[in-house]
A and B are shown apart, each in its own frame.
Chain A
Amino acid sequence: MALLDVRNLTVDFDLGAESLRAVDDVSFTLEPGEALGIVGESGSGKTVTALSIMRLLDPRARITHGRIWFDGQDLVTQDESAMESIRGRRIGMVFQEPMTSLNPGYTVGEQVAEVYRHHLRLSHAEARRRTIEMFERVKLPGAREMFNKYPHEFSGGMRQRVTIAAALACGPSLLIADEPTTAVDVTIQAQILSLLGQLQRDMDLALLFISHDLAVVSELCTRAAVLYGARLMEVGSTDAIFTAPRHPYTDGLINSIPQRGQPLQGVPGTIFDLRTPPPGCRFHPRCAHARPLCHRDVPEFTRSPANTPGERGHVYACHYPLDSSRG
């Protein structure tokens, strides 16, 4: 059974006079110990999807449709106190901005130790000991001395290690990382990614990794889901998606990865306003392969047969998919 099974998730924002659909009928699954990357541009619904799983959505947002099965429980129907016992204990989350996601008024040690005290009812001394252990695990140099430091004394990379330590403190089975390396330097980015990869293997952690960067996702994740304009475009193993993308948008994303000696290519045009989504396939205004059908009908999901046994296949929503045999 999948650890996480998101089915037809739909999230609407009520903005007073108008409303918009930030996540539209998104489904995917995540097996225990597996790493799934969610890729898309800003506004594609990646973060809203993650916050829906945590049930930490903005008060104006509402899950209007769908189910989020986590370990056999539907998170959509859990009440706040049930969610509090799941957050931080069974699902950890790391956010994008390490500079602001820690509380400036408390030491970094306290911000991890409180998780142990709250969820595992550990004493102050025991929580402190476990926190220092966790700091060593996320490779904070001089873990013992770090306990009493304040966030402002840390660099972005070190703060991100602290938030990872806090998220993993109670040994959750799922870690959601929402663009954890977007706000740090490129060199630090590589360190954080390899740390996440190592922790994922060591702790047998399922990882939901959210990024706008397909290259980063391919490094860390075995599977990837591509979102565009609140809808899912393509899901499959990163290998399949990279070598033989079926959706033109995925192909565009791959071509936008900078390569040495190659001129930079992007996806032409810009994402539409979510308040006024285009009819038919949402990507058709920017798609080089669009035909009249794409303007009219929303494409159904097509499943291409799994190439190897045990692989869960490759799903895409396109009327005129790219040839799978090329590349």
Chain B
Amino acid sequence: MAAPTKRMIRYTLLRALQMIPTVLLVTVAVFVLIIIIPGDPVLSMLGYYADDVTAVPHEIYDRMFRELRLDRPIPVQYLYWLGDALQGDFGKSVVFRVPVIDVVLSRVPATLYLGTASLLIAIAVSVPFGVWAAVKNDTWVDHLASGFVLFGIAVPGFWFGMIVILVFAIYLGWLPSIGYVPPQEDFLRFLKHLILPATVLGLDVAANILRFQRTDFLDQLHQDYVRTARAKGLPGQLVIWKHVLKNSLIATVTVVGLNTARLLGGSTIIETLFSYPGLSRLLIEAIYARDFPVIQAVVLWMVVLVVIVNFFVDLIYAYLNPRIRYATA
């Protein structure tokens, strides 16, 4: 095992190093956000809409001006901001009057729970269903899968979400329609609040994944190596789940990766529809309230998340397709 493992470690380290410039570039973009916003940044930070300097008392304006280090050159401002950000200091929320980091961290768990639950539902539904549809190509199973994909892609999430609320929360009264309960408070109620939004979100993502999973699996099923594996006497199920699945997952992992970043960043529509206090809703609230430090922090979180998820997707690629490991290392 020595050689492949060493190559994998080398590849992982190289790929991790590549994240650093990407993340730095992202921080520059997020920092510039405050500068390019039309109007006086001090007033923006203080939550004023008009560029009316006279509306703010002098002392407050000057203190803010120095606090934001606007008297320094922009690159220096950036370095200070970055230094603070690395220590988790994104300033104070204009609206909540508490450190931004506390506001953001209070919303992260809700989004992570919802995102993870939806992702698990999506994978649990799409991968086996995709394999089944491909193996039973052109039978009722396959048609059912195609119907599901069509439904998932064509039907908007907010509409499906409303129907689900109507049926399960209002008509049947089985589950609550809105809100969130932290798991440490009451785990059962936490689950009850999670089921509907996670299912709506998960099935939407499942349709996306299934589309790729089925096509790619079907393609792999006709490869020569499948016939070789069967000629070796391996049982059909082993050939499918060991030989074909690994090669078919490359496309799937791409789609799962894209959706993971999306889900862990929070789904605006679903969080709004279910009044779910996640990051996306925080972002919307912050945008309405012109709470720029909060916007900065949430956007930074979402982008860094994409970078990290892509890192893991690349590692999985290298596991699935050994050629990638060798090309880089």
Contact = CB atoms under 8 A, between A and B. Distances in A.
B320 A105 contact: yes
A97 B233 contact: no
B325 to A, nearest CB: 9
Interface in A181-237: none
B236 A103 contact: no
A155 interface: no
Nearest to B248: A105
Interface in B294-329: 320-323, 326
B63 interface: no
B52 interface: no
Interface string B4-31: 1000000000000000000000000000
Given A103-B243, A104-B225, A148-B3, A86 B233 contact: yes
Contacts of A80: 236
A15 to B, nearest CB: 15
B234 A114 contact: yes
Interface stretch (A87-95, A241-249, A282-290, A300-308): A87-95
Given A104-B322, A148-B1, A95 B227 contact: yes
B246 A105 contact: yes
A152 interface: yes
B238 A97 contact: no
A243 B213 CA distance: 57
Interface in A68-87: 80-81, 84-87
A102 B1 contact: no
Nearest to A85: B233
Contacts of A56: 227, 230-231
B234 A95 contact: no
A123 interface: no
Contacts of B106: none
A295 interface: no
A54 interface: yes
Contacts of A153: 326
A29 interface: no
B87 interface: no
B186 interface: no
Nearest to B1: A148
B229 interface: yes
A150 interface: yes
A312 interface: no
B254 interface: no
Given A105-B320, A152-B322, A89 B233 contact: yes
Given A56-B230, A87-B230, A102 B225 contact: yes
B247 A150 contact: no
A105 B322 contact: yes
Contacts of A103: 225, 228-229, 243, 246-247
Contacts of B322: 104-105, 107, 150, 152
Interface in A127-174: 148, 150, 152-153, 163, 166-167
Contacts of B2: 148
Given A104-B247, A148-B3, A167 B232 contact: yes
Interface string B216-246: 0000000111011111111110100001001
A42 interface: no
Contacts of B1: 148
A87 B243 CA distance: 17
A97 B235 CA distance: 22
Interface of B: 1-4, 223-225, 227-236, 238, 243, 246-247, 320-323, 326
Given A80-B236, A152-B322, A167-B232, 18 more contacts: A56-B230, A85-B233, A87-B232, A92-B231, A95-B224, A95-B227, A95-B228, A100-B223, A100-B225, A103-B246, A104-B225, A105-B320, A106-B243, A115-B232, A118-B235, A150-B322, A153-B326, A167-B231
**Cβ-closest 9 pairs across A and B:** A88-B233, A87-B233, A88-B232, A100-B224, A103-B225, A93-B231, A150-B322, A105-B246, A101-B224
15 contacts: A54-B231, A84-B234, A87-B231, A87-B233, A89-B233, A92-B231, A93-B231, A100-B224, A102-B228, A103-B228, A104-B321, A114-B234, A118-B232, A148-B3, A150-B323
